[in-house]
């Protein structure tokens, strides 16, 4: 990302008040989605997985045999299908796959381990359907779960051995 783009993002972020309530934070996340409208060639399909809502997205030329399971950001307190829809869709487009974005339950209304339970339900949904699970890695090649600082390989040991994990290297600039 060019320095000018970073400066523009910092300026946009600086406009938001610092001390927001949980609800205000959620509204700000969802409101930011207006900056990234959904492309007209995107197909969306709702899905329910356990206690979580989810949304399939695909674009023309999608390989439906490959899927990205997308878990939005927001520190388990904010973020939603709305706030991260564009990112989930465009990751799938760049990878040539369909994407399933999971809207896990948020704290404080749904305390730990609700979000983890939802994520694991989404993962089990993939394993049960025989889909390949694609894991995105960033430019620094770091695969870390922020909640416990374990590497993905360490976490994968807890998942069933029949699971196929594929590393996806998608440039995001």
More confident residue, 167 or 61: 61
* 56: CB partners within 8 A, 6+ apart: 43, 44, 45, 46, 47, 98, 99, 100
Residue 154 clears pLDDT 50, i.e. is over it: no
- Over residues 54-64, mean pLDDT: 93
pTM of the model: 0.69
pLDDT over 90 (residue 162)? no
Task: Characterize 66-75 residue by residue with b for buried, 16 or more Cβ atoms within 10 angstroms of its Cβ, and e for exposed.
Answer: bbbbbbbebe
* Chain segment 16-28, per-residue pLDDT in tens: 667 888 999 899 8
Give the residue with greater pLDDT, 89 vs 124.
89
Name the percent of the chain lying above pLDDT 70: 72
* Domain 3-168 superfamily per CATH: Alpha/Beta hydrolase fold, catalytic domain (3.40.50.1820)
């Amino acid at each position: 990302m060019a320095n000018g783009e970073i400066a523009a993002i910092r300026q946009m972020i600086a406009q938001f008040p610092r001390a927001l309530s949980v609800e205000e934070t959620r509204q700000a996340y969802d409101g930011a989605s207006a900056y990234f409208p959904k492309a007209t060639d995107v197909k969306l399909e709702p899905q329910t997985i356990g206690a979580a809502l989810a949304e399939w997205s695909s674009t023309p030329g999608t390989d439906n045999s490959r899927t990205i399971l997308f878990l939005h950001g927001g520190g388990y307190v904010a973020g939603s299908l709305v706030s991260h829809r564009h990112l989930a869709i465009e990751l799938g487009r760049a990878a040539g796959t369909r994407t399933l974005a999971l809207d896990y339950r948020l704290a404080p209304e749904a305390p730990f381990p609700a979000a983890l339970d939802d994520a694991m339900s989404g993962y089990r949904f993939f394993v049960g359907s025989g889909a390949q699970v694609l894991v995105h890695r960033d430019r620094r090649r770091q695969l870390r779960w922020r909640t416990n600082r374990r590497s993905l390989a360490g976490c994968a040991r807890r998942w069933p051995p029949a699971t196929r994990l594929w590393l996806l290297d998608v440039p995001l600039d």
